[in-house]
Amino acid sequence: MISLTYPFDGKELFENKRSLRRELLADGSKRMTKRIAVLGGSTTNDFCKMMEIFLLDMGIAPVFYQSEYGQYAEDAMFGNPELDAFEPDLIYIHTSFRNLVKFLPKRGETAEGVDARFGEAYGQFEAIWKRLKEKFRCPIIQNNFEFPGYRLLGNRDAWDISGATRFVNRMNMAFADYAAAEDTFYINDIQFVSACYGLDKWLDDSVWYLYKYPCALEAIPHWAFNTVKIIKSLYGKNKKVLALDLDNTLWGGVVGDDGVDGIEIGSENATAECFKAFQTYVKEQKQLGVMLTVASKNDLQNALDGLNHPDGVLRPEEFIVIKADWENKDRNLMQTAAEMNLGVDSFVFADDNPTERALVKANVPGIAVPEMDPPHDYIRILDRNGYFEATVISEDDIKRNEMYKANAERAQAELSFGDYTEYLLSLNMQGEILPFPEVYMSRITQLTNKSNQFNLTTRRYTEDEIRAAASDGEHIALYGKLVDRFGDNGVVSVVIGKKEGEDLHMELWLMSCRVLKKDMEFAMLDQVVAKAKEQGIERIVGYYYPTAKNNMVRELYGKFGFTKIREDEEGNTVWELLTEGYQKQNHVIRINGGELS
Amino acid sequence: MTEAELFTRLNKIFRKVFDDSSITVTRRTTAKDIEDWDSLEHITLIGAVEREFKVKFTMKEVSSMKNVGEMADLIAARAK
């Protein structure tokens, strides 16, 4: 389905309203029905259609009443039997600058004259709100005003008492004051949305003259989306939890590889500043009652070290649940939700990695998964989606964090979930596993010096040593490259074995953590065994040397089907595998253009 | 762009906007021939056609188009 998440394509949504509605209605989800009266100062038809789509997506099935064209004031002040019979749950007054034009000051008017006009304009609206409140006792949403399309007085329009720009600002301020004093009255901030969109694109006079729409057709979805954020928040459809990845989401770099001193957070460069600003934003959300959790592929200690970085803003204790392990993130998020006794559909998952996002989106029903890219747009992407729209701010919201933290510590649920192999197949992965070519020498060298986590021997190489391994005839040396439907991961794995008679001793076996759980390690093994057999090798000998960071591969050779033959008191282990009768273990990645085995 | 190509693309737009894969438009097709083609849907249709062919109809053209043939002629004239 076409994306309904910011940044969405307004034109695309607008043209596909019908099929979107059909698909949403057919998705089998349960929705609450809400009766919404739209009192319009313009045509409202397509606004309602777009609102319906966003509301259906958020679990609300709307029924609309629409006033006749431009009859917002008449319907409110003089009543309308149809509206009375409709018994709205919510009233939306859909007006725009077009409805303000008749009240605008004339050039050369005295201050008193302008005040009188303002009093008339504002007074009309306040009378409408009061009458509707008295009659229907339901929440009211009121658009404020976008800026005028032209400035008769140029910049002076903003300050001169007869300026239309100044008049708009004054009206909006008066609307805000009323909203601040009223419990169930909310401003739909069109002044902001039209500015975000760009006023020149927002205003399209031809659609006003032709159809009496107050903005460009492709802006209607943006307007509707902003309205719907208020409506869904009133009916308990806000998200509650922000589940965050760590590496390259909350800081720049990979803490497991770069070390806590190597990650970028703070103020020493542009990247560091950018991530600090994002952490600050997340912290501000938490102070408004948004609950934070971590979903990261990391060793726990590395994750905690990263969160304790002296220049960071967020601290480990601010997260209700921290899942930093090597489990798949869809599973982790389901577990986190269970521990917090929350539906996973109240989660937003923020991760820079498109593969992780796709996995979670596919397997976690109802979770919001915004496209977090690039880092300097993280704040905007979360902000514009309005997941946590703070329409009503209560004491409970502020205390919610503590409460859930306690709950989470009680529950530890183990969930079984999904068919992972199917997911892997859906990625359409293509691997390239070959001897080192010249172009990759420096990348391979760099990997051997950078990889810490998925690295069995943590042996470092110079470029000359890499070249030697590639060409001296005493080694079997292979690199692995992985491409999936989301893009090219580049060179992600390197293995080097030294031949001694009929044995092959694995001096190096490393892989980048970004391709964990993709079975790439099995694909590498298949190729190593095949190459070894070709060269008359009967036995492969694997070594694991523990470090502070490579605990995740302690049992790798065991998983591969090797037999442990030695272990010393430091935990160094030696393993062996006979090449005779070896069966291929990768069934999900096509290697070197071949078919799946 | 030949007339056949133009109609292939137009047809795609009609099917999308009315969410009806059985629609086939000809030069003589009018709003009467398509059940959901009312003045409100006309707005979406015009916007979608303008985007597909990267043309902009004048306000007068939008108000006076009588059938798909006239729409096609306007597009063909602009697309030159």
Out of 3.40.50.1000, 3.30.70.1730, 3.40.50.150, 1.20.1640.10, select the CATH number for domain A241-418: 3.40.50.1000
Quickly state the pLDDT bin for A440 (edges 50, 70, 90): confident
Please say whether the structural domain A10-234 has been given the CATH code 3.30.1440.10: no
The separation between CA A547 and the C-alpha centre of its own chain, rounded to angstroms, equals: 34
Q: Which two tokens stand for residue A478?
A: 């292979």
Model confidence at A417, pLDDT cuts 50, 70, 90, reads: very low
Which of A17, A19, A209 lies closest to B44 in CB terms? A17
Whether residue B43 and residue A15 make contact (CB cut-off 8 A), yes or no, is no
Structure tokens at A132: 């509707």
pLDDT tier, A484 (very low <50, low <70, confident <90, very high otherwise): confident
| pLDDT mean over A324-338 | 95
Residue to test with chain A: of B51, B52, B58, most A Cβ within 10 A: B51
Per-residue pLDDT band at A515 (split at 50, 70, 90):
confident
The residue among A474, A473, A465, A467 whose CA lies nearest residue A438 is A467
Length of chain A: 597
Rounded CA-CA distance A116/A111 in Å is 9
Portion of chain B with pLDDT greater than 90, in percent: 82
Q: DSSP class of residue A333?
A: H
Tell if the CB–CB gap between B18 and A218 is shorter than 8 Å: no
Give how far A44 is from chain B: nearest CA, Å.
10
Residue type present at position A570: E
Q: Residues 42 to 71 of B: which have CB under 8 A from any A CB?
A: 43-44, 47-48, 51, 59, 62-63
Mutate: best of A14, A42, A66, A201, partner B, most B CBs <10 A: A14
What pLDDT, on a 0 to 100 scale, did the predictor assign at position A404? 64
CA A186, CA A353: separation in Å to the nearest integer? 37
Q: Work out the average pLDDT over B29-55.
A: 92
Domains in chain B, CATH or no CATH each: 3-78 (1.10.1200.10)
- Has residue A403 got a pLDDT over 60? no
Whole-number average pLDDT of chain A: 92
Which CATH number is A428-591 given?
Answer: 3.40.630.30
Intervals of CATH 3.40.50.1110 along chain A: 10-234
Q: Is B21 an 8 Å CB contact of chain A?
A: no
Query: Which residue spans of chain A are classified as CATH 3.40.630.30?
Result: 428-591
Q: Of A71, A117, A79, whose CA–CA distance to A95 is shortest?
A: A71
Q: Tell me if A188 sits within 8 A of A227, measured CB to CB.
A: yes
> Which range, of A156-170, A312-326, A389-403, A424-438, averages the lowest pLDDT?
A389-403
Q: DSSP secondary structure string, A575-597?
A: EEEE-TT------SEEETT----
Segment among A67-71, A118-122, A408-412 with least mean pLDDT? A408-412
Q: What is the mean pLDDT of residues B48-57?
A: 94
How close is the nearest chain A Cα to the Cα of B4, in Å?
Answer: 23
Q: What is the mean pLDDT of residues A230-248?
A: 94
**How far does the CA of residue B33 sit from the closest CA of chain A (Å)?**
18
Q: Do A46 and B63 touch (CB under 8 A)?
A: no
**For testing contact with chain A, the best of B10, B14, B15, B19 (most A CBs within 10 A):** B19
* Mutation target among B10, B18, B23, B43 for the A interface, most CBs of A within 10 A: B43
- Count A/B contacts: CB-CB distance under 8 Å: 38
Assign A411 a pLDDT band (cuts: 50, 70, 90).
very low
CATH 3.40.50.1000 in chain A is located at 241-418
Which chain A residue is nearest to residue B49, measuring alpha carbons? A15
The pLDDT value recorded for residue A451 is 82
Rounded to an integer, what distance in angstroms lies between the CA atom of residue A407 and that of residue A113? 61
Cα distance from B50 to chain A (closest Cα, Å)?
Answer: 11
For A218, nearest residue in chain B (alpha carbons)? B47
pLDDT digits (tens, 9 = 90+) for B54-74: 999 999 999 888 899 999 999
